[in-house]
Amino acid sequence: MGRVGLINSGGASGKNDLAQAVRTAVINKGVGGMGLICGRKAFQKPMDVGIELINAIQDVYMENRIIIA
């Protein structure tokens, strides 16, 4: 039957959003996930901080060394 793509949706914005988002993205990708919804963690911050967070998440999904477990 194969795998079904998983898109993980995060939670509320907090103090360590960048680290939490990257950790969640690594876990999500490692189990076969295909994306991460970052909503409040990126869009309730100043634009430069939100862009940094989104770029960090993109980097996880583009990184070939992070593979499906």
34-52 pLDDT, tens digit per residue, is 888 888 889 889 999 999 9
Rounded Cα distance between 27 and 1, Å, is: 23
Token pair, residue 24, equals 């969640």
23-36 pLDDT, tens digit per residue, is 999 998 988 888 88
Residue 56 CB neighbour total at 10 angstroms: 16
